[in-house]
Every structure is written in C-alpha cells, then in structure tokens.
C-alpha cells in the first residue's frame, strides 16, 4: 500500500479521526490499485459469491488493517482490527459497485470480465505464455469513479 500513495497524500491522514482517515486512505489506495487491474470489477469483499467473483480473502483484510493501524501509530486491539477490516470491506464494496455500474454503462458485462480472468488463471496454471492472451479488457483506466 505504501507504494500506491505519495507522501503528500499520506500527510492528509492523521490519527485524530482515525476511522474516517483510515477510510480515506483505503479509498485512495484501492482506487489506485483498481486503476492498475483490469479485473478489479470481478473481485469481491465477501467471502463467497454466487456469481463466481473472486474474493480478496481474509488475509488481505488482516494485512491491510495491520498496515493502517500500524501506520497511524494505533495500539493493536481486536476491536481496532475489526473496525479497520470493516472499513476496508465497506470501501471496497462501494468502489467495486461503482466500477461495475460504470462498466455496465460502457456495455461491459462483469461476467464476461470474470470469464476472461478465469481464462488467464487457467492459462497461468498451465504455464502457457501469457502473451498469447487477448488483452482487450475493459477500459479500467478511463473510468470516472477511479479519477
């Protein structure tokens, strides 16, 4: 996460209003992460998806929460970890929803993107040259919700 934000962006976040500023930090970093991943729309903050979306997984949220409360100099408590984890999930859910809605307006279906991701994963699992894959994914860098 520290590679996704500048020192200037980080200086806007303080520990005075910890959870709100943690959410702000999550928004900045997750938007930047999403802008670099054409498959971001088919991830989910939930542990299960009936549509087959790919979950981030519990360790993602645990590590993200740890990064944030350590970075803000907060003393670890289970309540704090739970609050940070919930904040990260909330921010991700909202961001992914906005991305999916905007892609839908551009006539990109998230199930098509999911099939593309599953294909890439299958190819990687078989150690097939990734350059053979079609790279005509969604226009993730041009989405307004990521600017």
pTM of the model: 0.77
How far, in Å, CA of 40 to CA of 123, rounded? Answer: 19
Q: Please state at what angle helix 18-35 crosses helix 78-105, rounded to 10 degrees.
A: 40
pLDDT in the model for residue 44 = 94
Pair 41, 96: CB distance under 8 Å: yes
What does the pLDDT profile of the chain (147 residues) look like in tens digits? 556 555 555 555 555 688 898 999 999 999 999 999 999 999 999 988 889 999 999 899 999 999 888 888 888 999 999 999 999 999 999 999 999 999 999 999 899 999 999 988 888 766 554 444 444 556 666 677 776
């Amino acid at each position: 996460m520290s590679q996704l934000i500048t020192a200037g962006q980080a200086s806007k976040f303080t520990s005075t209003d910890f959870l709100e500023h943690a959410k702000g930090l999550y928004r900045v970093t997750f938007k930047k992460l999403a802008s670099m991943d054409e498959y971001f729309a088919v991830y989910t903050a939930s542990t299960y998806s009936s549509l087959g979306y790919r979950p981030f997984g519990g360790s993602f949220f645990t590590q993200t929460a740890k990064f944030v409360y350590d970075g803000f100099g907060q003393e670890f408590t289970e309540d704090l970890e739970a609050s940070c984890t919930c904040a990260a999930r909330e921010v991700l859910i909202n961001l992914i929803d906005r991305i999916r809605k905007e892609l839908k307006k551009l006539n990109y279906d998230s199930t098509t993107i999911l099939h593309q991701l599953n294909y890439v994963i299958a190819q990687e699992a078989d150690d097939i040259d990734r350059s053979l894959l079609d790279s005509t994914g969604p226009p993730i860098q041009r989405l307004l919700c990521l600017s």
